[in-house]
């Protein structure tokens, strides 16, 4: 006879639900209260602090064999996890391109977890919420009604999804059945600027083109793609027997926020029968603002747009979207026949949409709810005003840097991104690199602000990407002041020259 697992009595099955719902309710209310305190008080804490060794050790323990009360686990969370975030919810976090999230997002994520729906498709309200959100984006990006889209975990997945769609549409044969090793396959090439996010090359690699198929075209002084060089490369590749397939334009490069000339790129793509994709991970949404729209002229000419909701739309991680001009092209690229997933004439299967037929994932979380809540609560006008506020803040930081005497911009301020360094004069490029590296670490370690770093034209620089709805003008004054003071202090101290 087999022995029943411990805790099991005949007729009394075990479950993960609490025995005492009232106690669970008290814990859950407490956790929500602490979460709200955490957000409300974020400005009073440093943006970032290093994790102490004790916390790391507490997070490196063996598998717990037996459970303990949830309050006790929550205590550990509060001690070892809660105080040590990346800090992107803080008003002075401008590192990489990290979104700040929303208070309503906390609740929406909780409600989505409560429903715990699986968004493959089927007849359920969460499917309608996602379709609603995609419909809003179709409208906001001036895409036609035949356009389709899907929510994904982020910009990388959105770009990968778009490039698989492009590959299927432009291969010229049934590439999904026969693969790129078929003798019908051309030697396909994909084009974008040297400033394009690495996830495009990653996608090119994953889709089997080989990384060398990505043609990194040089940029102009403003870090936008050099159109002449692009045209030349396409013609040269054609002559050499390649088949140019996709042009990737940037609506906001990660380094400097540069926006490629999208209208011209669309024209070149059309002339060569290529797919025109736009990586607008953070920048694309600026198109919603009447004021900023002229900077993204031509965006609706794209065959596909990849963008994030967890960056400049301020939504919780991980939330991105891909929008494709032709919904048919999207389903051509992903549809599969699965005998366990055929719709019936009624019942649960009879849904309006099967998302697993237009994307990579099968099981999918209820991603749309946070944005649905946010858009309904705040309204489009609020988002537009926030984009304009962030762009104005970038310009303001740029002016503080230019007016400071010992700081300088290393690129024109593009949309909401500022690239800069401390340069008091009289130092070699090499010394400036070393000094600015130390300066960045000090600014972060002292809990002042979190800009991040990049390299532009071979020079180390600090950068602030402002996708933060909590930042105020005074926060940028704090940064500019600290850069000057700590820069001077480090310069005087010396010891940084390699």
Ligand X SMILES: *Cc1c(COP(=O)(O)O)cnc(C)c1O
Query: What's the min distance (Å) between Cβ of 381 and ligand X?
Result: 25
Q: Smaller CB distance to ligand X: residue 417 or 435?
A: 417
CA-nearest of 445, 438, 386 to 102 is 386
Cβ–Cβ under 8 Å, residues 36 and 107 = no
CA distance 95 to 79: 25
User: Looking at 72-80, 151-159, 258-266, 449-457, which segment touches ligand X (CB under 6 A)?
Assistant: 151-159
CA distance 78 to 70: 12
**Burial bucket for residue 418 (CB in 10 Å: 0-12, 13-18, 19+):** buried
CA distance 32 to 292: 37
User: Looking at 161-169, 228-236, 275-283, 455-463, which segment touches ligand X (CB under 6 A)?
Assistant: 275-283
Cβ–Cβ under 8 Å, residues 366 and 108 = no
For residue 298, the Cα-to-chain-centroid distance in whole angstroms is 22
CA distance 491 to 144: 57
Q: Smaller CB distance to ligand X: residue 255 or 434?
A: 255
Contact with ligand X (CB under 6 A) among 320, 398, 414, 451: 320
Under rule CB under 6 A, residue 169 binds ligand X: no
Q: Smaller CB distance to ligand X: residue 117 or 416?
A: 416
Phi, psi of 119 (to 5 degrees): -95, 40
Residues 68-88 as b or e (16 or more Cβ within 10 Å = b): eeeeeebeeeeebeeeebebb
Contacts of 288 (CB under 8 A, 6+ apart): 140, 380, 383, 384, 387
Alpha-helical runs (H) found in 338-413: 368-378, 380-402
Strands 242-250 and 148-152: unpaired
Contact with ligand X (CB under 6 A) among 91, 95, 101, 154: 154
Q: Smaller CB distance to ligand X: residue 160 or 269?
A: 160
Q: Smaller CB distance to ligand X: residue 432 or 462?
A: 462
| Binding residues for ligand X, total number by CB under 6 A | 13
User: Looking at 152-160, 346-354, 428-436, 452-460, which segment touches ligand X (CB under 6 A)?
Assistant: 152-160
User: Looking at 153-161, 163-171, 296-304, 469-477, which segment touches ligand X (CB under 6 A)?
Assistant: 153-161
Contact with ligand X (CB under 6 A) among 87, 94, 97, 277: 97
Under rule CB under 6 A, residue 87 binds ligand X: no
User: Looking at 150-158, 160-168, 321-329, 394-402, which segment touches ligand X (CB under 6 A)?
Assistant: 150-158
Query: What's the min distance (Å) between Cβ of 117 and ligand X?
Result: 23
Under rule CB under 6 A, residue 285 binds ligand X: no
Contact with ligand X (CB under 6 A) among 122, 170, 197, 463: 197
Query: What's the min distance (Å) between Cβ of 196 and ligand X?
Result: 8
Q: Smaller CB distance to ligand X: residue 466 or 480?
A: 466
Q: Smaller CB distance to ligand X: residue 285 or 358?
A: 285
Under rule CB under 6 A, residue 160 binds ligand X: no
Q: Give the side-chain half-sphere CA count within 13 A for 483.
A: 31
Sheet containing 417-422, strands listed edge to edge, beginning at the edge strand earlier in sequence: 407-409, 417-422, 459-465, 452-456
Q: Give the side-chain half-sphere CA count within 13 A for 317.
A: 8
Query: Segment 214-273, which members bind ligand X (CB under 6 A)?
Result: 252, 254
Query: What's the min distance (Å) between Cβ of 403 and ligand X?
Result: 28
Query: What's the min distance (Å) between Cβ of 223 and ligand X?
Result: 12
CA distance 73 to 54: 16
Query: Segment 404-463, which members bind ligand X (CB under 6 A)?
Result: none
Nearest residue to ligand X, using CB?
155
Question: Using CB under 6 A as the criterion, what x/- string covers residues 291-310 for binding ligand X?
Answer: -----------------x--
CA distance 416 to 286: 10
Query: What's the min distance (Å) between Cβ of 282 and ligand X?
Result: 5
Q: Is the peptide bond before 429 cis (omega within 30 degrees of 0)?
A: no
Q: Smaller CB distance to ligand X: residue 199 or 268?
A: 199
CA-nearest of 311, 317, 316 to 467 is 311
Query: What's the min distance (Å) between Cβ of 445 and ligand X?
Result: 25
Cα torsion for 93, 95, 99, 104, to the nearest 10°? -20
Residues lying near ligand X in the complex (CB under 6 A): 97, 154-156, 197, 199, 252, 254, 279, 281-282, 308, 320
């Amino acid at each position: 006879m087999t022995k029943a697992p411990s805790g099991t009595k005949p007729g009394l099955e075990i479950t993960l639900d609490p025995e005492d719902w009232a106690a669970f309710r008290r814990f859950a209310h407490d956790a929500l209260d602490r979460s709200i305190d955490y957000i409300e008080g974020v400005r009073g804490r440093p943006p970032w602090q290093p994790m102490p060794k004790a916390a790391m050790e507490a997070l490196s323990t063996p598998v717990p064999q037996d459970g303990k009360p949830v309050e006790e686990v929550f205590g550990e969370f509060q001690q070892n996890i809660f105080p040590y975030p990346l800090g992107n919810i803080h008003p002075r976090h401008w590192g990489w391109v990290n979104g700040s999230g929303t208070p309503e997002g906390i609740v929406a994520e909780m409600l989505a977890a409560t429903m715990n729906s699986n968004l493959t498709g089927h007849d359920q309200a969460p499917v309608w919420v996602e379709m609603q959100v995609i419909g809003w984006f179709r409208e906001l990006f001036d895409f036609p009604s035949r356009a389709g889209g899907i929510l994904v975990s982020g910009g990388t997945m959105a770009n990968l999804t778009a490039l698989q769609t492009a590959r299927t549409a432009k291969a010229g044969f049934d590439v999904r059945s026969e693969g790129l090793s078929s003798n019908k396959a051309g030697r396909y090439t994909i084009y974008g600027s040297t400033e394009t996010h690495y996830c495009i090359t990653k996608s090119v690699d994953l889709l089997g083109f080989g990384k060398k198929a990505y043609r990194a075209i040089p940029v102009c002084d403003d870090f936008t793609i050099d159109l002449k060089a692009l045209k030349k490369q396409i013609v040269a590749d054609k002559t050499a027997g390649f088949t140019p397939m996709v042009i990737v334009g940037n609506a906001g490069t990660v380094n400097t926020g540069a926006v490629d000339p999208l209208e011209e790129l669309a024209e070149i793509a059309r002339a060569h029968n290529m797919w025109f994709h736009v990586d607008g991970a953070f920048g694309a949404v600026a198109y919603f603002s009447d004021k900023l729209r002229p900077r993204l002229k031509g965006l609706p000419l794209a065959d596909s747009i990849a963008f994030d909701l967890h960056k400049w739309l301020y939504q919780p991680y991980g939330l991105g979207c891909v929008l494709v001009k032709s919904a048919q092209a999207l389903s051509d690229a992903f549809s599969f026949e699965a005998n366990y997933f055929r719709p019936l004439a009624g019942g649960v299967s009879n849904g309006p949409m099967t998302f697993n037929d237009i994307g990579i994932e099968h099981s999918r979380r209820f991603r749309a709810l946070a944005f649905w809540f946010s858009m309904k609560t705040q309204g489009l006008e609020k988002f537009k005003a926030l984009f304009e506020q962030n762009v104005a803040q970038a310009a303001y930081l740029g002016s503080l840097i230019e007016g400071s005497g010992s700081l300088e911009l290393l690129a024109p301020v593009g949309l909401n991104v500022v690239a800069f360094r401390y340069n008091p004069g009289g130092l070699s490029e090499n010394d400036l690199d070393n000094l600015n590296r130390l300066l960045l670490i000090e600014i972060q370690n002292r809990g002042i602000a979190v800009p991040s770093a990049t390299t532009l034209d071979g020079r180390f620089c600090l950068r602030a990407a402002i996708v933060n709805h909590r930042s105020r003008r005074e926060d940028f004054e704090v940064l500019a002041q600290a850069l000057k003071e700590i820069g001077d202090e480090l310069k005087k101290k010396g010891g940084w020259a390699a």
